[in-house]
Amino acid sequence: MEFNVNSGQIYNCLEITEKALPVRSTVPVINSIMLDITEEKLTFLATNLEMAITVSMEKNDPGTGKILLPPKIVDILRYFPVPEAKISINWDNYGINISGGSALFNLNGADAQDYPAPNLFQSNYESSFSIEQELFKKILKAVIFAASAEETRPAFNGVLFSFEEHKIIITASDTYRLVIKEISDNDWSFDNHKCLVPARVLREFLRIIEGGNEKLFLGFDNKTIGFNFNGITLSSRLLEEKYPDVRGVIPGSYKTRIIISRKKLEEVISRAALLAEGKNQAVNLILKSNQLEARVTGQEGNMEEIMPVEQDGEDINLHVNTRFILDILRVLDEKEMIIDFHGNDGPIIFKLVDDQSYLYLVLPIKRIN
């Protein structure tokens, strides 16, 4: 079999697909990328048995078949010298010949008959819905940073999707901070259901999706979730851990509320972070008389900077991790932020002025008396 392809296009497909390859695996067959050739298209598939990605592209040349490609083919096409590549496959020994310009590569493929068939995006998912890609990408970026990367509490390695009739509640936490975002659409119709999606899978999803006005299709059941967009399918097993009810940590009313410029606060905390030290990277926030002061004292020096704010309530003096503040400020593009304080030892809650469906809670650093 022989067919001609655009080397850049096939590289783009492979670059996305390889994100699902395992880092280390005792199952040799999944260390390869499977190529499924039909009369109309080429479909590339990779899986680590927890996550799977397929990417398809059209082709015009005749011939069908399945073959396992060595991962090195990704780098070969990344540096291919010309835009067009001729690919020949010898089905007797699964040899792969790639030629173009002055380059000629002979690779060893393998039989794909034992390649696992993961549960990819299916039309028969128990539930499915569509949403604009750019909107979902923006929402996910504003949530996922709060999920834990530590393996000691597996439930917090996931992002919880709670489906309720016409809305979805997305929750992420690492036990020190918490994000809750609600999205709703009257066209959606869900039975009450929860999916705990691995955060690492969603991070890969964000690296792949470009956004735009096109629709993203998302389906789920009790064991898997699948995303389908722009000829790409990403599916994942759900985490089986029970996610705790985190809403109980959200106070009912604030003791102090301020409205502050998001950009100004980001700039000041970024400067404070330059001298913040230790595990907690702490900055001292002192609120008094419609002014918020940031102070840092470390071995290399100290800094102080004052910002004007609109203050409602009592004065505040507490310490908080600079990274926890910057993480939220850098993923949003709001002009102003609402920050609610609940005393010097209570949680700090960030809200959006024009969107009551988003909440970010941060615990201050405990004071040692």
% of the chain with per-residue pLDDT over 90: 83
End-to-end CA distance of the chain: 76
Which of the four pLDDT bands, split at 50, 70 and 90, describes residue 120? Answer: low
Instruction: List, in sequence order, every residue forming a beta bridge with 47; answer none if it has no partner.
Output: 52
Neighbours of 289 (CB within 10 A): 7
Q: Could you read off the pLDDT of 138-195 as tens digits, one per residue?
A: 999 999 999 999 888 899 999 999 999 999 999 999 999 999 999 999 999 999 999 9
The 3-state DSSP class for residue 239 equals coil
DSSP state for residue 118 in the 8-state scheme: -
Q: Average pLDDT, whole number, for the chain?
A: 93
Work out the pLDDT band at 136, boundaries 50, 70, 90.
very high
Q: Which CATH superfamily is domain 2-111 in?
A: DNA Polymerase III, subunit A, domain 2 (3.10.150.10)
| Domain-wise residue ranges, the chain | 2-111, 127-237, 251-362
Rounded to 10°, the helix 322-331/133-144 angle is 170
Look at residues 151, 243, 140, 159 and name the one whose alpha carbon lies nearest to residue 199.
159
Give the phi and the psi of residue 285 in degrees, each rounded to 5.
-105, 125
* d(C-alpha 194, C-alpha 170), whole Å: 10
105 exposure class (CB count in 10 Å sphere: 0-12, 13-18, 19+): middle
DSSP state of 137: H
Q: Are 218 and 128 in contact (CB under 8 A)?
A: yes
Answer whether residue 119 shows pLDDT above 60: no
Helices and strands (DSSP H and E) totals, the chain? 6, 26
Q: What is the pLDDT of residue 123?
A: 53
pLDDT of 75 reads 96
Which letter, b or e, does each residue of 148-160 get, where b requires 16 or more Cβ atoms within 10 Å of its Cβ?
beeeeeebbbbbb
Average pLDDT over residues 41-56: 94
pLDDT, tens digit, for every residue of 85-106? 999 999 999 999 999 999 999 9
pLDDT score, position 205: 96
Residue of 299 and 291 predicted with greater confidence: 291
Q: For residue 211, what pLDDT is reported?
A: 85
Strands in 316-321's sheet, in edge-to-edge order, are 301-308, 291-298, 282-288, 316-321
Under 8 Å between Cβ of 37 and 56: no
Structure tokens at 212: 């735009």
Q: What mean pLDDT comes out for the span 70-84?
A: 95
Using one digit for the tens of pLDDT, what is the confidence trace for 189-219? 999 999 999 999 999 999 999 888 999 999 9
**Is the pLDDT confidence value at 324 over 70?**
yes
CA-angle at 172, arms to 273 and 353, nearest 5°:
70
Beta strands in 230-300 (DSSP E): 232-237, 256-261, 282-288, 291-298
Q: Bigger pLDDT: 288 or 116? A: 288
Residues in the chain: 369
Output the six-digit token pair for 141: 């970026």
* 251-362 has CATH 3.40.640.10 classification: no
pLDDT one-digit tens code per residue, 221-253: 888 999 999 999 999 999 999 999 998 899 989
Assigned CATH for 127-237:
3.10.150.10
Taking every pair of Cα atoms in the chain, the longest distance, rounded to a whole number of angstroms, is: 81
- At 118, the pLDDT band (50, 70, 90 cuts) reads low
At 122, the pLDDT band (50, 70, 90 cuts) reads low
- Structure confidence at residue 352 as a pLDDT band (50, 70, 90): very high
Let me know if the fold of 2-111 is the same as that of 251-362: yes
Q: pTM, whole model, 2 decimals?
A: 0.91
Written as six digits, the tokens of 11 are 């590289």
Label each residue of 302-343 as H, E or C: EEEEEEECEEEECCEEEEEEHHHHHHHHHHCCCCEEEEEECC
Give the tokens for residue 166.
């016409």
Q: Give the integer Cα–Cα distance in Å for 179 and 257.
A: 19
Better-scored residue on pLDDT, 325 or 27: 325
366: exposed, middle or buried (Cβ count in 10 Å: 0-12, 13-18, 19+): exposed
